[in-house]
Chains A and B, each alone.
Chain A
Amino acid sequence: MEKIRSLADLKKIRDENNKGVELRKKGEDADKLVQVKVAMATCGIASGAKETMEFLADSLEKRGVEAVVTQTGCMGYCYAEPTIEVTLPGRDPIVFGNVNVKKADEIIEKYIKGGELVDGIIPVNYETIDSKE
């Protein structure tokens, strides 16, 4: 193990390790952050959901967007995999279909950063237990 020889070194180690615990920190106040759920069932993964998810996690961080990226199960839109659900703070969740890396890039730039809707939205056509309350 390399010795830490100065306060600057210590800060460097802190910043390197920050990502690890950041996920937990974000979880504690998730409703104030952008939440992205990627459908990662078999069909989603087969259509490239893993690449989409990695891209989303990497790029959101690189572009300085505070977001929680998680995986979820099959959303039922098998015709439009990979699907992702994006929830901006204080807004209703929106589901996008056919999200490959290129589409994901567009969603980040236009919707997440600017709040501008892009093509590929799947209208929610069902009610959930939560929305019935």
Chain B
Amino acid sequence: MSKYSMHLLVCGGTGCKASESDILTEKLKKELAKQGLEETVQVIMTGCFGFCEKGPIVKVMPDNTFYTQVKPSDAEEIVEEHVIKGRRINRLLYKDPKSKEEVEDTGKMGFYKKQLRIALRNCGFIDPESIDEYIARDGYMALGKVLTEMTPEATIALMKDSGLRGRGGAGFPAGLKWELARNNASEKKYVVCNADEGDPGAFMDRSILEGDPHSVLESMAIIGHCIGADEGYIYIRAEYPLAIARLKTALQQARDYGLLGDNILGTGFNFDIGLKYGAGAFVCGEETALIHSMEGDRGEPTLKPPFPAEKGYLGKPTNVNNVETLANVPPILLKGAEWFSSIGTEKSKGTKVFALAGQINNVGLIEVPMGTTLREVIFEIGGGIKDGKKFKAVQTGGPSGGCLTEKHLDTPIDYENLVANGSMMGSGGMIVMDEDDCMVSIAKYYLDFTVEESCGKCAPCRIGNKRLHELLERICEGKGEEADLDRLRNLGEVIKDTSLCGLGQSSPNPVLSTLDNFMDEYQSHVVDKKCTAGVCKDLLEYFILEDNCVGCTACARACPVGAITGERKELHVVNPVTCIKCGACMEKCKFDAVILR
């Protein structure tokens, strides 16, 4: 047996690696060797723990200690104090933001308490570069079961019963998708994994690929068996180098073990997987655009039908599933449809992974059962709003989702509820905004993104979004009129109704949902020409407070256009007409007398 009596799990996700977790791993190994403990204590680089806010993370097992923000220079202390003397290092423990107390283990952390990890079951638990550790966690058992004990029909029926829906955004039932691809007869079929994760600030799929690549490979082989395909591709963006490297390692290991290739597990089933790199275009997450890009054409969507299940890659029936959907498949097949469908809400089964970002204390990756409320996610798991500020809105579904407000906080999260409230599930981005965020600027920001990423094929999306963006720009500059608000809404609805693909059909969502929920902010921009959050520069004026100004003349000397007047030791005044709002006066003032209002 292995003589290891202690494991040090170091996060090897992209985020933690950027904060030197790989140097830390080397240092830990070196320190252990120095103490003659390399045979007793194993250092393992795992996938993402999800707690990116406080990375790099080191988890000590089996005593379940969770260290945050560990630097390479802490390695010596961890080995000497924790490993040898058995004493926890308090300064590295996670501190609860509310009680300010140190939390010893993950079971007591609000961040982990409400989570249920199915898709992320192996992330932060196994070494993603070891196929043996994956197998030890029942890896490839589902494939074995499907190949030896189940027919493709029975497998598909089980998936349909489980209620698993596509995690890429649209929520199409996975089992049904497989069935459609199976029923289209063809000698050649393909299985494609959509790893083109495009939402800004979203990293669910990347973390799964980095932390548990074999689960994706196993599921693709299972689908291959179900639909009758012997070839699969993972379409992944080239800007995910670590995920690509881990996938390559995993592919090689699976081939070496004969779990990919010819005659898998002696059953006569052949299947292999290749990688295709994308250039990072948002629209290529749409399945028809993705397939065109795979074929070497421009990444532009085409009208459906025909669906890829009928005519996909190289004109052959193709099944496309997203990474997170695939990661859910093996546990469902092993534990059964009933187990999975007991989790979640009536129409949305299982769990969903979200990337929490924005003005929130615990930025990171979480997985919760469907039906968890936004309040639980933001205030319990997310630890609430940064710096004790007030919650204003949460954007779900990435750039094409909508903004939900205070009144939606107790809505259980599932596909239907989010759509009913003017947003969507999307791939699972969740961006939290506080009182200092201007909702008009936020809508404009998301539109910046969609205008940039529109492929330009259809007019509503190409021209319509551009016009929407111009209208918002005018409003933010203080040149908007009341009629613009109607124009925004009308144009938004037209784009939604007439665009060719999901990108255009959802791109006006941020505008429409902020119009619904934050009309007062639009009104004050248009009518009063004021930005209450203090974000839109053109709507703000620099002003000098009488009480604070000592008449030092620093601001007047700093002003490049001579807009500030005033005598020495007397109150200075900004002339709003000549002021160009460069902010130089505010920077120079030592008495906090210059404000924006």
Residues of A at under 8 Å CB distance from B?
A: 1, 3-7, 9-11, 13-14, 16-21, 23-24, 26-28, 30, 37, 40-41, 53-54, 57-58, 61, 68-74
Contacts and interface: CB of A to CB of B under 8 A. Distances in A.
Interface stretch (B24-32, B57-65, B458-466): B57-65
Given A14-B138, A30-B62, A71-B6, 9 more contacts: A7-B145, A10-B140, A14-B136, A18-B136, A27-B61, A27-B63, A53-B5, A72-B85, A73-B86
8 contacts: A3-B258, A10-B135, A10-B259, A23-B6, A28-B106, A70-B5, A70-B62, A71-B5
Residue from B87, B135, B144 having most chain A Cβ neighbours under 10 A: B135
B1, B40, B42 interface centre (most CB from chain A within 10 Å): B1
B126 interface: yes
Interface string B126-146: 100000110111111100110
Q: Is the interface of A mostly helix, strand, loop or mixed?
A: helix
A17 B83 CA distance: 24
Contact of B133 (A6, A20, A58): A20
Contacts of A68: 62
Those 8 A-B pairs whose CB atoms lie nearest each other, nearest first: A27-B62, A72-B86, A73-B85, A3-B258, A17-B136, A27-B61, A73-B86, A7-B144
A132 B1 CA distance: 39
Interface residues of B, number: 43
Nearest to A18: B136
A21 B257 CA distance: 20
Given A18-B136, A21-B136, A68-B62, A6 B5 contact: no
A13 B132 contact: yes
Contacts of A74: 85
A3 B255 CA distance: 9
Q: Which of B7, B62, B139, B140 has the most CB of A within 10 A?
A: B62
Most buried by B among A4, A30, A53, A69: A4
Contacts of A72: 85-86
Contact of B148 (A7, A27, A58): A7
A84 to B, nearest CB: 12
A37 B86 contact: yes
A1 B257 contact: yes
B49 interface: no
B372 to A, nearest CB: 21
Contacts of A10: 135, 140-141, 144, 259, 265
Interface of B: 1-7, 9, 40, 42, 61-64, 83-87, 106-107, 125-126, 132-133, 135-141, 144-145, 147-148, 253, 256-259, 265-266
A41 B257 CA distance: 42
Given A3-B258, A70-B5, A23 B86 contact: no
Contacts of A17: 132-133, 135-136
A19 B132 CA distance: 11
Contacts of A28: 64, 106-107
Nearest to B82: A73
Contacts of A27: 7, 61-64
A61 B85 CA distance: 25
- Looking at B7, B42, B61, B133, which has the most chain A CB atoms within 10 Å of its CB? B61
Contacts of B62: 23-24, 26-27, 30, 68, 70
Nearest to B1: A19
Nearest to A20: B2
A14 B2 contact: no
B473 to A, nearest CB: 52
B4 A40 contact: no
A96 B325 CA distance: 51
